[in-house]
Structure 1
Amino acid sequence: MSISQADQSPLVSLRDVRFAYGEREVLRGIDLTVHRGQVVAIMGGSGCGKTTLLRLIGGQLRASSGAVEVEGRDLAHMPRSDLYALRRRMGMLFQFGALFTDMTVFDNVAFPLREHTTLPSGMVRDLVMMKLQAVGLRGAHALKPAELSGGMARRVALARAVALDPMLIMYDEPFAGLDPISLGVIGRLIRRLNDALGASSIMVTHDVHESLLIVDYIYFVSEGRIVAHGTPDEIRASTDPFVHQFVHAEADGPVAFHYPAPPIDGLLQGRRP
C-alpha cells in the first residue's frame, strides 16, 4: 500500500460482532478492520461464517450485537435510504459469477449502470467497453454466458462488479472451479483493479497460495471467531497450529474432518445413531 494505514481511518470496521441464524450462533465476537486500498482475505473452513461476514458488511444482514461500520457509520443505525446509497458504492462478485444467462456479456456489465444511473446510452456503452477491455473481454461483448468458459464468465462478473467504480469490492470464492491459468489471471485482475480504482477489496476464499500472492492482510475464521490474522509474510512464518494446518492442507490439526458424533463402533454393533 502506498498510503500509510496509520494516517487514515478504516474503511470497514467490525467490533465484537455476533450473529445467529435462529438459535444457531454463527459469529461469536468478530473484530476485523479493512483499510482503504487494501485487499483483505477471509479464510476458514466451510460453514465458519465467512460469507455471513460479507452479507453483514454489505448490509443484507444485521448483526445480533456489536458494530459493523463502513466509512465510520454504523450500518445498524443508518436510514434505509442511506444504506441503499452506500450499497451502490459497493461491488460484489458472487460465487461462480451469477451472470444473467439470458443477457449478453455487454448487457450483464451494463446492468448496474442502467439500474443505478441516468447516464446516456452512449456513455454507458463506452464505460462497459472500458470495463470489458480491463478484463480482456471487449471482443466477447456480444456472447451469452453459455458461450463462455468458466474463467471468462468470472472475468465478466468482475467487470460487472466494478462497473460503478465502487469504493469497496467483495468477492465470494472468486477462484472456485477455475483452472490454474484462469485462477492466476483472476487473482492478478483483482489486485490490479483494486489499485487502479483506489478501492478496497474483501475476498472470501479457500485458495491460500493465490491469496498470499495478492492480498495485504489475512484473517482466519474458525467456529465463528478470528483465530489468527496477519500479513502474507507473517502467515507464511506462523507456527500457529490452525494456520499451519490450513496453509499446508494437512488432515490432522485443530480443524477436525468429522462432524461431532458418537463413536462409530456402537453404531456398527446395532445401536441407534
Structure 2
Amino acid sequence: MTSRSVPSSADSRPPLVELKRVTCGYGERVILRDVEVAVPRGSVVALMGTSGGGKTTVLRLIGRQIDPMAGQVLFDGIDISTLDRDALYAVRRRMGLLFQFGALFTDLSVFDNVAFPLREHSGLPEVMIRDLAMMKLNAVGLRGARELMPSEISGGMARRVALARGIALDPELMLYDEPFAGLDPISMGVAARLIRELNQSLGITSIVVSHDVDVTFSIADQVVFLANGGVVAQGTPQQMRESSDPLVRQFVDGEPDGPVHFHYPATTIEQDFRMGPR
C-alpha cells in the first residue's frame, strides 16, 4: 500500500460531511439514534461494524436517499434536507458513488459506462468526453479494456470501471459501499491502492463502508464503528487495534461470539424441545 497523507490537524476548515445528532430508520424501525460523525476534508474514513448496524444507511443519508427523523446531515456546511430538487441534484454532482459489486450498465461498453455521467451532466462536446473518459480509465489501469462489455471482464475489473465512472465528474466526495466484497486478494489489494491513491492525487474525501479489517485499516485515516444504533468507537486504525472495547475486539479479532451473539434471541432449549402435548 502507498503511504498515507493524513489531513493536517491545523486545517481549520469545517468537516466536508457531518452528521449532527442524527436519528433515522425505516418506517417505525430506528437504525441509528443520536449519531454524531464528522468526516475531515481530504481523509479516508472507514465505516465498520456489525451487519445491520447502519453503515450503508449513513451513505443513504449523505446522498439524501432517506431523510433523518431528527438531526442534521451537513455537506460542506449545507443541511441537505433543506434543499429543493435542483439544489439537491447539484450537491449530488459533487459526490461519486461506487456501488457494491459495481452496478455497471450491462448493455454499455466499459468506455460508455465511464462516459455516461459526463454525457448526462457535463454538457461537454463528445471529443472532450472521450478524452476525459480515457483519462479516468487510464487512472484505474483499464484504458486498454475500453471496448469490452461488462460480461467480458472480471469482477475486480468491473469494480475498477465503476470507480472510473464514480470519479468521472471529479467529485469532492467518494462513497464506497463494500468495495472489497467478493474480490480475490490481488483484486482487493488493487482496489484498496486505487482508493488511497485517487483520494490523495485528486484531493478528494472518501467514506468507505467495509467489513474487511486488514485492507480497510491499511488505507483509512479514521475508523468509525457502528453498532447497536450508534457509534461505539472511533479513532485511527491503530487505536482500534489497541481498543479494549469488547465489541471492537470481537470485530477486529473475528470472534464468533461476544457482544454480538452467535445465537439469535430465542426461548430456552427446554421450552422449544420439551415433550408432551402442545
Q: TM-score, normalised by structure 2?
A: 0.95
The one of 200, 207, 220 equivalent to 1:202 is 207
2: distance between equivalents of 1:164 and 1:3? 26
The one of 120, 136, 149 equivalent to 1:131 is 136
Which stretch shifts more, 171-180 or 229-238? 229-238
Does the CA-based 8 Å contact 2:7-2:41 persist in structure 1?
no
Deviation, structure 1 residue 2? 4.7
One-letter amino acid of the structure 1 residue matched with residue 104 of structure 2: L
DSSP-derived class of the 2:169 partner: coil
Segments of 4+ moved more than 6 angstroms: none
Deviation, structure 1 residue 60? 1.1
Consecutive unaligned residues of structure 2, counting only runs of 5 or more, are 1-5
Deviation, structure 1 residue 6? 4.4
Could you say which residue in structure 2 is the equivalent of 1:153?
A: 158
Corresponding position: 1:91 with 2:96: yes
Corresponding position: 1:10 with 2:15: yes
Could you say which residue in structure 1 is the equivalent of 2:72?
A: 67
The one of 31, 38, 50 equivalent to 1:33 is 38
Does the CA-based 8 Å contact 2:223-2:234 persist in structure 1?
yes
1: distance between equivalents of 2:197 and 2:132? 18
2: distance between equivalents of 1:2 and 1:21? 35
1: distance between equivalents of 2:257 and 2:136? 44
CA displacement, residues 229-256 of structure 1 (integer Å, 9 cap, x when unaligned) = 1001111111111111101101121111
How many matched pairs? 273
Deviation, structure 1 residue 191? 0.6
The one of 162, 170, 177 equivalent to 1:165 is 170
Could you say which residue in structure 2 is the equivalent of 1:102?
A: 107
The one of 221, 240, 254 equivalent to 2:259 is 254
CA displacement, residues 183-212 of structure 1 (integer Å, 9 cap, x when unaligned) = 010000001111111110001100110011
Could you say which residue in structure 1 is the equivalent of 2:250?
A: 245
Q: 1:88 to 1:270 in 2, by over 3 A?
A: farther
Which stretch shifts more, 165-174 or 244-253? 244-253
Aligned pairs (5 A) from 1:188-227: 188-227=193-232
Could you say which residue in structure 2 is the equivalent of 1:113?
A: 118
Deviation, structure 1 residue 83? 1.1
2: distance between equivalents of 1:30 and 1:2? 23
Q: TM-score, normalised by structure 1?
A: 0.97
CA RMSD across the alignment: 1.5
Corresponding position: 1:140 with 2:145: yes
Identity, in percent, stands at 59
Consecutive unaligned residues of structure 1, counting only runs of 5 or more, are none
One-letter amino acid of the structure 1 residue matched with residue 45 of structure 2: V
DSSP-derived class of the 2:249 partner: helix
Q: 1:2 to 1:33 in 2, by over 3 A?
A: closer
Does the CA-based 8 Å contact 1:5-1:35 persist in structure 2?
no
One-letter amino acid of the structure 1 residue matched with residue 95 of structure 2: M
CA displacement, residues 111-168 of structure 1 (integer Å, 9 cap, x when unaligned) = 1001111101010000111011010000000001111111101000110010001000
DSSP-derived class of the 1:7 partner: coil
Does the CA-based 8 Å contact 2:100-2:177 persist in structure 1?
yes
Deviation, structure 1 residue 46? 1.1
One-letter amino acid of the structure 2 residue matched with residue 253 of structure 1: G
Deviation, structure 1 residue 267? 1.8
1: distance between equivalents of 2:252 and 2:277? 38
Could you say which residue in structure 2 is the equivalent of 1:180?
A: 185
